[in-house]
Chains A and B, each alone.
Chain A
């Protein structure tokens, strides 16, 4: 039985947790002192040894990413934090930055020191006004306290941080699209290689990490690489924030070692909505193939989820009970991908429009069963052929839902439309009369 282990979330309930005073009272910015007493390479090695893997979905080892920064490049090195949290279902970085922005800021300073950067940017999505206020104030307070600016803590190390608000574009969560956006351009992904470590922001060496990854760094410095590596599973180390939403009794943020199962998490959350049962769920956001009740005991780590046919992604566990029409759910996600496709590559730009058209026809009970094969064929022409992961992600809910719920699509055709009562799935209409 894996239980909860609050690390990043531990101080969220503190009085005025967002302030420097509250954070410092908890021992905040002591990890920074520890890190500054180490060499940058030692910090990189510590993060490598901890086994921390990117918390933005891909799970690439963070320390390894840092070590790709070339030391002989004449251009300055940059750290960019990806706080553009927009993947449907994902809702961990936003509460983190609202409650404890200093955790992220301290992580930014330590990480920048490790990669020898003197400029860092926190790219936060624009649609979260109060979170942006909290970040701005945290950076201001950190400057005033000498945690940022010149000669930080008397170490001789200088760092400037800018909080940068985006303007509404899911694609900017893709790291190279984010870099284009941060350069004041349309947010469209870049061809890789060259990777950002070699030619990132302003074609200079750049590390770009998810906000939760960077916020985890201070705890690794404080508690040691062995502590982190000893948590979780063999290849998926440490703790992560699991976000439960939808039809559970107590939706919310549950921080636990990787490898916890959905069955355990749902128990902690008070069970599936009373009187109902689990129908389908996403392990890591809408771009990760759907799971069903048969996957309740899959350990939520990178390897186990992949072996079961999906992806751990951002641990965005959207829970849907038996009142929810899977066709409606999938169509809505598909409309999202269609809206958010940046238009750069043909498979995604055109393909997401085709997918939405065919799905929409099916949801209305029109078309024929052959449309299911058409959908799968369209997915086959997008997956692996799109310029970035957005196109691939768009196919995930479709192919997985046809695998597990093919009959439900057919039912729409025989029923002449959606057989579900929409009111039954709502927060306010779901109570049996």
Chain B
């Protein structure tokens, strides 16, 4: 923990960060619209939402600190406690829970020796359960720094966190090489990190319907018997769509 505290002090809210906060606010017709991405940037710099970061946002937007805090406390992605290098979020909403998310979450708590929303002593992993992350067809899903790790089991999830703790480079099953939580927060603030071309366009479940069609199993729909020609016109002129 002390090592991370030093890093926080090292970074702090410097002039460069103030400039970037102003840059975010300037993207919008009304600067206050930038507040959510600005808070993401603060987390990237500070490892959590610090009072200094709240003050910086308030100064840039001409708001009170209370107004900024009032917004920040509404959203679950903003953290008041230091977050580890890797925020591991196990989906335990109904479908993932049933498919194994509950078992994965229990195993990770045991394995890491932490409870929900707690961080390992080495500061590497913060564990939490998350709500539906829009990847139900890949259940059970474990998010790491908001990258998708699909079709997980308790064993695969343990291996995943062990590799992360060991400092290995780990790629998400449907995404890029997993960066640190702080780096991820910087992308959410609107600053690209050059990893966009990593990972697939789509995972196997996303392509399930396409594969049925490619296998010739089923002809396209033919309402009123006229879809043959319309489908054809779609396939010749549809911009990436037919």
Name B57's closest neighbour in chain A (CB-CB). A184
The reply on B102 being an interface residue by CB < 8 A is yes
Query: Which residues of B are found within 8 Å of A320, using beta-carbon distances?
Result: 98
Are B213 and A245 touching (Cβ within 8 A)?
A: no
Are B218 and A223 touching (Cβ within 8 A)?
A: no
Are B237 and A30 touching (Cβ within 8 A)?
A: yes
Which listed residue (A8, A13, A244) contacts B241, Cβ 8 A? A8
Bound-state CA distance A415–B162 (Å) is 40
Query: Which residues of A are found within 8 Å of B99, using beta-carbon distances?
Result: 246, 425-427
Pick out which of these stretches binds chain B: A45-53, A253-261, A302-310: A253-261
Bound-state CA distance A336–B95 (Å) is 12
Closest Cβ of chain A to B71, distance in Å, is 6
Are A133 and B145 touching (Cβ within 8 A)?
A: no
Are B204 and A252 touching (Cβ within 8 A)?
A: yes
Which listed residue (B201, B233, B237) contacts A16, Cβ 8 A? B201
Bound-state CA distance A12–B205 (Å) is 11
- CB proximity to A under 8 Å, residues B134-148: 134-140, 143, 145-148
Closest Cβ of chain B to A179, distance in Å, is 10
Are B199 and A130 touching (Cβ within 8 A)?
A: yes
Q: Please tell me the number of chain A residues within 8 Å of chain B, measured between CB atoms.
A: 119
Bound-state CA distance A220–B201 (Å) is 24
The reply on B169 being an interface residue by CB < 8 A is no
Given contacts A3-B218, A13-B207, A165-B36, contact A127 B237 (CB under 8 A): no
Are A17 and B201 touching (Cβ within 8 A)?
A: yes
The reply on A23 being an interface residue by CB < 8 A is yes
- CB proximity to B under 8 Å, residues A289-336: 316, 318, 320, 324, 328-329, 332-333, 336
The interface bits of chain A over 236-270 (1 if a CB of B lies within 8 angstroms of the residue's CB, else 0) are 00010011111000111111110010000000110
Query: Which residues of A are found within 8 Å of B234, using beta-carbon distances?
Result: 7, 219, 222-223, 227
Are A251 and B208 touching (Cβ within 8 A)?
A: yes
Closest Cβ of chain B to A83, distance in Å, is 10
Are A184 and B75 touching (Cβ within 8 A)?
A: no
The reply on A164 being an interface residue by CB < 8 A is yes
Are B92 and A12 touching (Cβ within 8 A)?
A: no
The reply on B195 being an interface residue by CB < 8 A is yes
Closest Cβ of chain B to A152, distance in Å, is 16
Are B208 and A252 touching (Cβ within 8 A)?
A: yes
Query: Which residues of B are found within 8 Å of A200, using beta-carbon distances?
Result: none
Are A318 and B94 touching (Cβ within 8 A)?
A: yes
Bound-state CA distance A126–B146 (Å) is 8
Given contacts A9-B210, A126-B77, contact A223 B221 (CB under 8 A): no
The reply on A400 being an interface residue by CB < 8 A is no
- CB proximity to B under 8 Å, residues A88-135: 88-91, 93-95, 98-100, 102-103, 106, 119, 125-130, 132-134
Name B136's closest neighbour in chain A (CB-CB). A245
Are B29 and A119 touching (Cβ within 8 A)?
A: yes
The reply on B83 being an interface residue by CB < 8 A is no
Closest Cβ of chain B to A353, distance in Å, is 17
Pick out which of these stretches binds chain A: B9-17, B115-123, B224-232: B224-232
The reply on A192 being an interface residue by CB < 8 A is no
Are A181 and B134 touching (Cβ within 8 A)?
A: no
The reply on A79 being an interface residue by CB < 8 A is no
Are B94 and A286 touching (Cβ within 8 A)?
A: yes
- CB proximity to A under 8 Å, residues B187-222: 187-190, 192-193, 195-197, 199, 201-210, 212-213, 217-222
Are B27 and A88 touching (Cβ within 8 A)?
A: no
The reply on A423 being an interface residue by CB < 8 A is yes
Which listed residue (B103, B201, B219, B221) contacts A14, Cβ 8 A? B201
Name B151's closest neighbour in chain A (CB-CB). A427
Q: Report the number of A-B residue pairs with Cβ-Cβ less than 8 Å.
A: 346
Given contacts A126-B146, A227-B233, contact A222 B241 (CB under 8 A): yes
Query: Which residues of B are found within 8 Å of A316, using beta-carbon distances?
Result: 136
Given contacts A10-B240, A244-B137, A427-B153, contact A3 B40 (CB under 8 A): no
Are A136 and B196 touching (Cβ within 8 A)?
A: yes
Name B153's closest neighbour in chain A (CB-CB). A428
Are A7 and B242 touching (Cβ within 8 A)?
A: yes
Pick out which of these stretches binds chain B: A64-72, A167-175, A388-396: A167-175
Among A86, A90, A129, A245, max chain B CB count under 10 A is at A129
Are A10 and B218 touching (Cβ within 8 A)?
A: no
The reply on A345 being an interface residue by CB < 8 A is no
- CB proximity to B under 8 Å, residues A47-81: 76
Bound-state CA distance A223–B139 (Å) is 35
Are A164 and B134 touching (Cβ within 8 A)?
A: no
Given contacts A99-B202, A128-B146, contact A254 B36 (CB under 8 A): no
The reply on A194 being an interface residue by CB < 8 A is no
Given contacts A27-B239, A87-B132, A320-B98, contact A130 B221 (CB under 8 A): no
The reply on B131 being an interface residue by CB < 8 A is yes
Pairs across A and B, CB under 8 Å, 28 listed: A3-B222, A4-B212, A8-B241, A9-B206, A14-B240, A76-B29, A91-B136, A127-B89, A129-B145, A129-B176, A129-B187, A130-B176, A133-B193, A166-B75, A167-B40, A167-B76, A185-B71, A186-B71, A219-B238, A219-B239, A219-B242, A223-B233, A223-B234, A230-B224, A246-B139, A318-B95, A328-B97, A422-B102
Residues of B near any A CB (own CB < 8 A): 27-30, 32-37, 39-40, 61, 70-71, 74-78, 89, 92-95, 97-100, 102-103, 130-140, 143, 145-148, 151, 153-154, 172, 174-176, 184, 187-190, 192-193, 195-197, 199, 201-210, 212-213, 217-224, 226-227, 230-231, 233-234, 237-242
Residues of A near any B CB (own CB < 8 A): 2-19, 22-23, 26-31, 76, 85-91, 93-95, 98-100, 102-103, 106, 119, 125-130, 132-134, 136-137, 140, 162-170, 181-187, 202, 218-219, 222-223, 226-227, 230-232, 239, 242-246, 250-257, 260, 268-269, 286, 316, 318, 320, 324, 328-329, 332-333, 336, 339-340, 342, 422-423, 425-429
* Additional 10 contacts, C-beta under 8 A, given A12-B207, A318-B95: A14-B201, A18-B196, A19-B197, A30-B237, A98-B202, A130-B172, A165-B190, A218-B239, A219-B242, A253-B206
